[in-house]
Amino acid sequence: MAQAFIVPPCAENPIILHRDPHFLVVNKPAGLLSVPGRHPANRDCLMSRLAREFPGALTVHRLDMDTSGIMLVALDKDTQRYLAGLFEQRRIEKQYSTLVDGLVAEDSGSVELPMRCDWPNRPLQIIDTVAGKRAVTHYRVTSRSPERLQTRLQLSPVTGRTHQLRLHLAAIGHPILGCRFYAPKAVMAAAPRLMLHAQSLCFVHPGTSLQVSYEAPATF
């Protein structure tokens, strides 16, 4: 059984990027839980902070605590069901920005490696080509830094497995800088935080049925 992890306090507040009658678009800071943790000390989170101003706010999806970026929060149950259904049906286009260790050779590519929970060491995940669930990540190089031996990537996950982006990039030899789960110690120490940011979401608006897109550029 994994030991309880007490989340350090997060001084940075979420930023509301867009508000309409149906949902909020929020930029979550790194280091803040999306929803309350199981341990009583881990109650502070995005949803608890939003509840102070929006007491009816409802969870639609989550980002890892270490990951920053754009999230959708429903303001009524019908919108929650609608948006959650879009995520489940993979009808929401998601893009992430990340900095990884090493120089990625190909300008673009895909990682298709099935994965599952490493139960004795949860929340860690492992690649398992026999019992793992399908996991697919597309990537595109946006810049390379030969002097730092680092690459900036744009990621487009097809599936949404726990730790998918972290594990897939580590599996191809390019762990994310600052990753405390899957990067070697030197790579983990190379950045002050996990260098992974949910940059944009594109989907059909529940009220207008028009395609909408929201973006929160990475600050690293």
Domain ranges, ordered by start, for the chain: 96-196
Q: What is the pLDDT of residue 178?
A: 98
Spatial distance between the Cα atoms of 168 and 157, rounded to a whole number of angstroms: 10
Q: What is the rounded CA–CA span in Å between residue 84 and residue 113?
A: 25
Distance CA 137, CA 155 (A): 7
Lowest-pLDDT range, 4-8, 79-83, 145-149, 205-209?
4-8
According to the model, what pLDDT value does residue 6 have?
A: 86
Beta 108-112 vs 211-215: how paired, if at all? unpaired
**Which residues have a Cβ under 8 Å from the Cβ of 51 and sit 6 or more positions away?**
57
pLDDT at 208 over 50: yes
Q: What is the pLDDT of residues 114-171, one digit of tens each?
A: 999 999 999 999 999 999 999 999 999 999 999 999 999 999 999 999 999 999 999 9
Over range 185-209, report the average pLDDT: 97
Concerning whether 76 is annotated as a catalytic residue, the answer is no
Taking only the tens place, the pLDDT of each residue in 64-101 is 999 999 999 999 999 999 999 999 999 999 999 999 99
pLDDT band at 219 (very low <50, low <70, confident <90, very high): very high
User: DSSP for 90-145?
Assistant: T-SEEEEEEEEES--SSSEEEEE--EEE-GGGTT-EEE-TTTPBP-EEEEEEEEEE
Q: What is the mean pLDDT of the chain?
A: 96
pLDDT for 7: 87
The pLDDT of residue 3? 56
| pLDDT of 212 above 80 | yes
Instruction: Decide if pLDDT at 183 tops 70.
Output: yes
Assign 169 to helix, strand or coil: helix
Q: What is the pLDDT of residues 12-66, one digit of tens each?
A: 999 999 999 999 999 999 999 999 988 887 889 999 999 999 999 999 999 999 9
Catalytic one of 20, 44, 64, 78: 64
Q: What contacts 24+ positions apart, CB below 8 Å, involve 82-86? A: 82/206, 83/23, 83/203, 83/206, 84/60, 86/203, 86/204
CATH no. of 96-196: 3.30.2350.10
pLDDT band at 2 (very low <50, low <70, confident <90, very high): very low
Q: In the 8-state DSSP scheme, what is residue 40?
A: T
According to the model, what pLDDT value does residue 1 have? 40
